[in-house]
Amino acid sequence: MKIHPTAIVHPDAVLGDGVEIGPWVIIEGAVKIGARTRVGPRVTIEGHTTIGEDNEIFTGAVIGSRTQDRKFDGGISYLRIGNRNKIREYVTINPGTMSGTETVIGDDNLLMAYAHIAHDCVIHNGCTLANNGTLAGHVIVEDKAIIGGLSAVHQFVRIGKLSITGGCSKVVQDIPPFMMVDGHPASAFGINSVGLDRAGYSREEKANLKKAFKIIFRSGLILKNVIKELAQQIPASPSVDELTRFLGKSERGICG
């Protein structure tokens, strides 16, 4: 381990092999940091926070500070961060609100400068939250979703797999997998063709998703009838099944 002499590390903290702690870092309480994770200057990590291996945390990030939720009851809540994440300058991440709850961040995510992840959020793997992107409480972000800079996501919203949210968007309803949305409030305008190509989806699957887009956003049907129409008109495939599953679980409704 390399711990800069100006860093303050609580004796209860557990640091893995090869961890690097930069100048003026503060690590408070029962924090656990996995092997080879690098913590940059003036970072604060506190609370019941567990960070995995090979992460990079840049200048001034505040990780695990007490939730900003008014419902905080003073109990112990948690923050779990996986492996190989890049947490850029001045990112803030809060743990869960109520006792025993948690905020969870998976693997291989890029959280760009000044992004905020509020209490009880779940971010899956390979996601990008661009500069000043803001997630309110209880937001779920599925694999490889991209959220543009200066975008704000309302509490309890779900962001689907491989979706893209344009910069400066206001997201108040769920964004289905594979879709591109933008606006204030955000509305869908097509499928994420480039992302689908990069992820290895076939031309047939892309064609089916384009048909699904028209049924979801252009048919004028209510959500339960959209799901029926998808089942009747589009052959089953991994992508269509993923889309249908997501729609079936929507509680806030789908963005327009």
Alpha carbon distance 207, 213 (integer Å): 10
Q: How would you class 248 by CB atoms within 10 Å of its CB: exposed for 0-12, middle for 13-18, buried for 19 or more?
A: exposed
Q: What pLDDT score was predicted for residue 256?
A: 85
Considering the candidates 69, 107, 120, 143, report the single residue annotated as catalytic.
120
Could you read off the pLDDT of 105-127 as tens digits, one per residue?
999 999 999 999 999 999 999 99
> Residue 156 above 90 pLDDT?
yes
pTM over 0.75: yes
* Mean pLDDT (whole number) for 70-87: 97
Say which of 34, 47, 126, 137 is annotated catalytic. 137
Contacts for 132 with CB less than 8 Å, ≥ 6 apart: 113, 114, 115, 149, 150
Tell me which of 116, 119, 124, 138 is the catalytic residue. 119
Report the top-level CATH class of 201-248.
mainly alpha
* Kind of pairing between the strands at 62-63 and 44-45: parallel
- Both tokens assigned to 204: 């047939």
Vertex 224, ends 219 and 228: CA angle to 5°? 75
In CATH, which of 2.160.10.10, 1.20.1070.10, 3.30.300.30, 3.50.50.60 is domain 2-196?
A: 2.160.10.10
Around Cβ 194, how many Cβ atoms within 10 Å? 10
pLDDT score recorded for residue 168 = 98
pLDDT confidence bin for 1, thresholds 50/70/90 = confident
82 has catalytic annotation: no
137 labelled catalytic:
yes
Q: What are the extents of the domains in the chain?
A: 2-196, 201-248
Q: Is 86 helix (H, G, I), strand (E, B) or coil?
A: strand
Question: In the annotation, is 120 catalytic?
Answer: yes
